[in-house]
Amino acid sequence: MNYTYKKIWLIAFPVMMSILIEQLINITDALFLGHVGDVELGASALAGIWFWAIYMLGLGFSMGLQVVIGRRNGEQRYEETGKAFIQGLFFLSMFAVTVCLVSKTLSPILLKHLIISEDIYHAVIRYLDWRMWGLLFSFPFLALRSFLVGITKTKALNVAAFMAVLVNIPTNWLLIFGFDMGISGAAIASSFAELCSLAILSVYMYRHIDKKAYGLYWRIDVKILKEVFSVSIWSMLQFFTSVAAWFVFFLAIERLGETELAISNIVRSVSTLFAVIVNALSAVTGSLVSNLIGAGERDAVFPLCRRITRLGYAIGIPLIILALLFHRFVIGAYTDSPVIVQAACLPFAVMLFDYFLALPSYVYLNAVVGTGATRAVFVFHVSTIIVYLLGLWGLSHCNVTLATYWLMEYLFVTLLGIQSIFYLKNDRTKNTNL
C-alpha cells in the first residue's frame, strides 16, 4: 500500500471536515454567547467540556471500531467490515440513550459541587438540558464515520460537514438572539445540526454502499461485538480521562475568576481549529496503520507517520502565522471587551505554539492505536494525566499567570509522544493481533 501525500490528503480532508462539524458547533456557540455576556461565555466552556467528556466515550468506542474495520479492510475481508460496523452502530445507539438518561439525572448533582459561581452553574445546566440530546444523533454518526474512514471512502463526510455548518450558524443566531433563548438556544441549534449531519450520512450509506459486499444486514453477533469492545474499551477510557483532565484544567481556571474563564474559553475555541487538523490526521493515521498491518506491511508505519506529520505542518504553519498576525481581530470576534482582548494575547500565543508538539505526538499515539494496542495507549494517558494533574495542583498554589497554566499543555502532549515513539520503536506491533 503506497500512501502518498496526495492520497493521505484525499482521505484526511473529508475526515477533517467531519471533525470540523463538532468543533464548529463549539466555536459558533462561543462566538455568539461572547456577545450575550461573560457568564454565558464562561459557562459554555465548562458545559462544552462536560459534554465533550461524555461524547468522548462514544468517540473512543468508534476509534476502536475503526481499527477493527480498517484491519478487516486491509485483509480484504470486506463482509467482516460490515458485520463489525453493524455491531458498533447498535452499541453506540443504545449507549447514547443510556448516557442521555443518566446524565440528565446526575449532571446537575455533580456540577453543583464542582462549580463555585451560582450564575455559571445555572447557565451550564440550561445548556446541558438541551445539549445532551444531541448524543442520540452524534453517536450513530460516529459509527457511520468509523465505517467510511475504515474502508477509506470518506468523501461523503464533506457533505455532512457542509450541512452542519449550513444549519448550525443561522439556527444559532435565530435561537440565541431572534427568540432570545440565550445559552439554551445555542444547545438546541447544536443538537439540530448533528441530526442533519446524521441524516446526510445515512442517505449516503443507503444509496452508495454495496450492502451485500460489506455484509450490511441487521444481525447482532455477540462474538464480534465482544471483539470490537475489547479493542474499544481502552480507547473509551483514554478519551474520557483526557477530556476529564481538560475539565479539571477549566475548573482550576474558574477559581481564578470569571474573566480568566472567559479568556480561556476564547483560547480553547480557537485552538479547536488546530485540533481539527491534528485529530483528523491522527485519526487517519490509526486507520492507515491498521490497513498496513492487515496487509502485512509493518515496516511502512514509521515512514507513514513522518509523511503525515510533514503534511500537518504544511497545513498548520501558515494558519499559525495568520493567527499571530491578526490575533486581536480573532480574539475580538468573541468579545466586545478590550480588557479581555488585551489579556488573552499571551495565552493565545502559547496555545498556538503547542501545535508543533501536539501534531507529531498524536500522530504517533494513534499509530499505536492502529496496531490495536489500545490498552497501552490508555496506560500512556493515565501516566501522563497523573503528571499533568500534579502540575496543575502545583500551579494552583503559586501566584502565576493564566499563560503559565496553558504551558501545561506542552508537558501533556510531549509525554504522550515520547511514550508512543518508544513503544513503536520496540517493535511490539509484531505481537499485536486482532
- Separation between Cα atoms, residue 263 and residue 332, nearest integer Å: 11
Helices 5-33 and 258-294 cross at an angle (nearest 10°) of 160
Give backbone dihedrals phi and psi of 14, rounded to 5 degrees, phi first: -65, -35
In 3D space, the residue among 153, 144, 161 whose CA is nearest the CA of residue 86 turns out to be 144
In 3D space, the residue among 57, 48, 59 whose CA is nearest the CA of residue 23 turns out to be 48
Asked if 114 and 50 count as a contact pair (C-beta separation under 8 A), the reply is: no
pLDDT at 33: 83
Task: Give whole-number Cα distances, 153 to 156, 208, 337, in Å.
Answer: 8, 11, 45
Handedness of CA 238, 242, 245, 247 (dihedral sign): negative
Task: Give whole-number Cα distances, 3 to 7, 18, 59, 360, 433, in Å.
Answer: 6, 21, 25, 18, 23
- Separation between Cα atoms, residue 310 and residue 248, nearest integer Å: 32
Q: Print pLDDT tens along the chain (434 aa).
A: 678 888 888 888 877 876 776 677 777 777 788 788 778 877 887 888 889 889 989 988 998 898 889 888 888 888 899 999 999 999 999 999 999 999 989 999 999 988 888 998 999 999 999 999 999 999 999 999 999 988 888 888 888 888 887 898 899 999 999 898 989 999 999 999 999 999 999 999 999 998 888 888 888 888 888 888 888 888 888 888 888 888 888 888 878 887 888 888 889 888 888 988 998 899 889 889 988 888 788 888 999 999 999 999 999 999 999 999 999 999 988 887 888 889 999 999 999 999 999 999 999 999 998 888 888 988 998 999 999 999 989 988 888 889 999 999 999 999 999 999 999 988 654 545 55
Amino acid at 91: F
Amino acid at 205: M
DSSP H helical ranges for 255-337: 258-294, 301-325, 327-332
In 3D space, the residue among 57, 52, 28 whose CA is nearest the CA of residue 333 turns out to be 28
Asked if 297 and 420 count as a contact pair (C-beta separation under 8 A), the reply is: no
pLDDT at 246: 80
- Separation between Cα atoms, residue 16 and residue 21, nearest integer Å: 9
- Separation between Cα atoms, residue 3 and residue 304, nearest integer Å: 7
Alpha carbon dihedral 139, 141, 143, 148, in 10-degree steps, equals: -160
Asked if 89 and 220 count as a contact pair (C-beta separation under 8 A), the reply is: no
pLDDT at 242: 80
Handedness of CA 206, 207, 210, 211 (dihedral sign): positive
Quick one: cell of 428? 511490539
- Separation between Cα atoms, residue 213 and residue 219, nearest integer Å: 15
Quick one: cell of 398? 503559586
- Separation between Cα atoms, residue 168 and residue 407, nearest integer Å: 32
- Separation between Cα atoms, residue 373 and residue 281, nearest integer Å: 19
pLDDT at 287: 82
Alpha carbon dihedral 326, 399, 272, 67, in 10-degree steps, equals: 150
pLDDT at 199: 95
Task: Please give the DSSP secondary-structure letter assigned to residue 385.
Answer: H
Asked if 1 and 291 count as a contact pair (C-beta separation under 8 A), the reply is: yes
- Separation between Cα atoms, residue 26 and residue 22, nearest integer Å: 7
C-beta atoms surrounding 429 within 10 Å: 20
Helices 301-325 and 5-33 cross at an angle (nearest 10°) of 40
Quick one: cell of 37? 455576556
What value does the CA radius of gyration of the chain take, rounded to a whole number of Å? 21
Task: Judge if pTM exceeds 0.85.
Answer: no
pLDDT at 1: 65
- Separation between Cα atoms, residue 331 and residue 379, nearest integer Å: 36
